Structure 1
């Protein structure tokens, strides 16, 4: 009987992108296994662009709520799928309720939040041996005595060209006749991960003067940021913030010739699309959640006060980002770029 693996996926877009390394590793090692991923509904467009995922299951729970009864009922509803193993990529107590309610015989995860009894394949988390999030995800797909491979598969999203074309038609965007620079100036975590808007505008202005187009990406929460950047470029950018779903943003971004991004979910999307990428890190640690792409360039100053992992700069100066000049970004972008076709 073929294995049927249920993976309890993360809630953050960036972490779900990194989880693709696990999905690829599982399929490479167990090609006949059925890989299902259960995760919040907003992550499903990512899973739809990962061929190794055989089944995506949207979880109905609100972020952060225990919803014990609802989790038990939902878990029981999965019993007919006859999963043989559950792999938990989140370390919370509530995440371990669903697999045991689903009567999954092998339940794998790191020790956390008193999960004894709920998990029966408990792994100690050695942060020194597994420094990166992607290392920890892939390790859970190995047997307990196996060593993490030296080289991990890189996340690779398969964009939908038909969706990109339909989205362009919906938004009134013509087929690009010049290279497109995608800017991702948002970061849901907080201001300490956001490179200054004026700096983004300076990069945009310089690339516009070279004949490039500039598209601004982000969620509805990022619209004040992207609107200000566009204002500083005399409205010469295409502001897509809040106008696309996640899936549409992925497909449109695949048309970019280069991307500049804060450490955010969209940064990991750009890396997984294998686009030339400049990733800017402030309060976060590029050694913990780096973009998994050979085409990515990471800019981080490694000041004595960073990474601090704070949402706002505790010292009030935000030098970890303000001291990264726009010229540093420009010199790491392609001097010329071809137009990516649909």
Structure 2
């Protein structure tokens, strides 16, 4: 019987996708292991059909504001699994504490946030900033686990295609119809291309192509998408915000002509499906959080004299996104759409 290994994952969809090459590497190194992954609910769908995982453990509760009952329940869950090793992709001290309380004897992770005393194997942070995928793989190399490629691994369950087909048909989109997917949202406002720019881009796209535009996003992003879709009355611009699961969104992206998106979760879902991508980057860095895809990837950003990445939540000028004009983005879209 092989070792029982727990991977404690991060809290954002894109970062969890970035971790899948590391999950693959652990299983390849220990093929007889029982390999589980602890993840928050909103990211569990990314891992539900992962062939390298034996179990996905969902940490129910509102991170990081867990109740005492939630702490005790998670610790009990981990203790019952009798893990030999926990590998922490997450920076949290709390989650290392869970593993310690659960009696997991070997606990490995980066030395940060004052948690060295809780770790049995503490990896110094890399001197230079790495892409998030390489950040996880670097930790594994420290532990003697070689990488097995950088491509993300997300395999939607096949039966979800019927769910997507039903959703498409309910909006008048027939099978094999051409469509582009647009994600206008993002974790914070500075990452988002302006709404009027999306509207202008869609006008240009619909004028040139007989295709649909499908807006995607979470339910809280529905109001943002409505500002865009309400501008169009021809039935060719449709919002699926809040109507797709992680799995059905991945399949939607897989069959799209391309995805136009800010730096956000859907861009990495598209990458995992080999979808062509046009990524709009402003205050964040594609070198650190950009998509890794077998499909065609076009990253658009402006050099505006600022320090990028800045990760600012507010800015007086917003020039990094506002200088990226719809005509320029449309020109890139035509090249992707026409395969040039």
Shift of residue 119 of structure 1?
A: 1.0
Q: Could you say which residue in structure 2 is the equivalent of 1:164?
A: 161
Q: Could you say which residue in structure 1 is the equivalent of 2:211?
A: 212
Structure 1 residues 4 and 142: CA distance shift in structure 2, 3 A: farther
Give the SS at the match of 2:130: coil
Q: Could you say which residue in structure 2 is the equivalent of 1:201?
A: 199
TM (normalized to structure 2)?
0.89
Shift of residue 16 of structure 1?
A: 0.7
Shift of residue 28 of structure 1?
A: 2.6
Write the deviation string for residues 269-296 of structure 1: whole angstroms up to 9, x where unpaired: 1111110001111111111111111422
Structure 1 residues 92 and 237: CA distance shift in structure 2, 3 A: same
CA distance, structure 2, for counterparts of residue 21 and residue 98 of structure 1: 25
Write the deviation string for residues 244-274 of structure 1: whole angstroms up to 9, x where unpaired: 2333322322221210110001111111111
Q: Could you say which residue in structure 2 is the equivalent of 1:245?
A: 245
Q: Could you say which residue in structure 2 is the equivalent of 1:134?
A: 133
Q: Could you say which residue in structure 2 is the equivalent of 1:64?
A: 64
Write the deviation string for residues 164-183 of structure 1: whole angstroms up to 9, x where unpaired: 32243256144344321000
Matching of residues 274-313 of structure 1 within 5 Å: 274-294=274-294, 295-305=296-306, 306-313=308-315
Q: Is the 8 A contact 2:258 2:337 kept in 1?
A: no
Give the SS at the match of 2:107: strand
Q: Is the 8 A contact 2:123 2:142 kept in 1?
A: no
* 2:232 is the alignment partner of 1:233: yes
Structure 1 unpaired stretches of 5+: 338-342
Structure 1 residues 120 and 296: CA distance shift in structure 2, 3 A: same
TM (normalized to structure 1)?
0.89
Matched positions, count = 331
* 2:324 is the alignment partner of 1:327: no
CA distance, structure 2, for counterparts of residue 163 and residue 175 of structure 1: 17
Give the SS at the match of 2:11: coil
Q: Is the 8 A contact 2:163 2:248 kept in 1?
A: no
Instruction: Name the structure with the higher helix share.
Output: 2
CA distance, structure 1, for counterparts of residue 144 and residue 178 of structure 2: 48
Q: Could you say which residue in structure 1 is the equivalent of 2:108?
A: 108
Give the SS at the match of 1:53: coil
Q: Could you say which residue in structure 1 is the equivalent of 2:125?
A: 125
Q: Could you say which residue in structure 2 is the equivalent of 1:257?
A: 257
* 2:193 is the alignment partner of 1:184: no
CA distance, structure 2, for counterparts of residue 135 and residue 118 of structure 1: 24
CA distance, structure 2, for counterparts of residue 157 and residue 144 of structure 1: 25
CA distance, structure 1, for counterparts of residue 91 and residue 68 of structure 2: 16
CA distance, structure 2, for counterparts of residue 320 and residue 89 of structure 1: 30
